[in-house]
Structure 1
Amino acid sequence: MAKTRLSPTTHLARRMFGLLEPICLVTFCADESNEELTALGHRSYWDGYFASRAAPLGRVPARVVHAAFYNFAEGEAARHIPSAWETIPPEASVAARERGSAASLRRILGEELAGSPGLVRAADLTTRAATSAPTEGRVMYAGMRTLEVPGDPVARLWHSATMLREHRGDGHIAALVASRIGGTEAHVLSALAQGIHPPESFGRIHHLPKERLAAVMGGLRERGLIGADGHFTDAGRATTQRIETLTDELAAAPYDALSPTELDELIAVLEPISATLVAAGSQ
Structure 2
Amino acid sequence: MARIARRMFELLEPICLVTFLSDECNEELAALGHRTYWDGYFASRAAPLGRVPAQVVHAAFYNFADGEVERHIPSAWETIPPEASVAARQRGSAASLRRILGDELAASPGLVRAADLTTQAAQNAPTAGRMMFAGVRALPVPTDPVARLWHSATMLREHRGDGHIAALLAAGIGGAEAHVLSALDLGIHPPESFGRIHHLPKKRLAEVMSGLRSRGLVDADGHFTDAGRETKHRIETLTDELAAAPYDTLSPAELDELITALEPLSARVAATGSQ
Q: Same fold (TM over 0.5)?
A: yes
- Residue 279 (1) aligns with residue 271 (2): yes
Secondary structure of the residue that 1:37 maps to in structure 2?
A: helix
* Correspondence for 1:84: 76
Residue 128 of structure 1, aligned match among 112, 115, 120: 120
Matched length: 275
* Correspondence for 1:4: none
Aligned-pair CA distance for 1:10: 1.3
Residue 93 of structure 1, aligned match among 85, 91, 95: 85
Alignment of 1:167-178 (within 5 A): 167-178=159-170
Q: Show CA shifts across 1:116-165 (max 9, x none).
A: 01000000000000101110100000000110000000000000000000
* Correspondence for 1:188: 180
Residue 207 of structure 1, aligned match among 187, 192, 199: 199
Alignment of 1:1-283 (within 5 A): 9-283=1-275
Distance in 1, Cα, partners of 2:127 & 2:10: 22
Amino acid at match of 1:234: D
Secondary structure of the residue that 1:270 maps to in structure 2?
A: helix
* Correspondence for 1:5: none
Amino acid at match of 1:258: L
Aligned-pair CA distance for 1:112: 0.4
Amino acid at match of 1:24: C
Aligned-pair CA distance for 1:204: 0.3
Alignment root-mean-square deviation, CA: 0.3
Distance in 2, Cα, partners of 1:99 & 1:60: 24
Distance in 2, Cα, partners of 1:162 & 1:23: 8
User: Which 4+ residue blocks in structure 1 deviate beyond 4 angstroms?
Assistant: none
Aligned-pair CA distance for 1:212: 0.3
Distance in 1, Cα, partners of 2:203 & 2:56: 25
Q: Show CA shifts across 1:163-212 (max 9, x none).
A: 00000000000000000000000000000000000000000000000000
Give the alignment's TM-score, normalised by structure 2: 1.00
Give the alignment's TM-score, normalised by structure 1: 0.97
Amino acid at match of 2:130: R
Q: Show CA shifts across 1:35-93 (max 9, x none).
A: 00000000000000000000000000000000000000000000000000000000000
Distance in 1, Cα, partners of 2:222 & 2:274: 31
Distance in 1, Cα, partners of 2:182 & 2:251: 33
Secondary structure of the residue that 2:84 maps to in structure 1?
A: helix
Secondary structure of the residue that 2:34 maps to in structure 1?
A: coil
Unaligned runs of 5+ in 2: none
Distance in 2, Cα, partners of 1:241 & 1:121: 33
Amino acid at match of 1:69: F
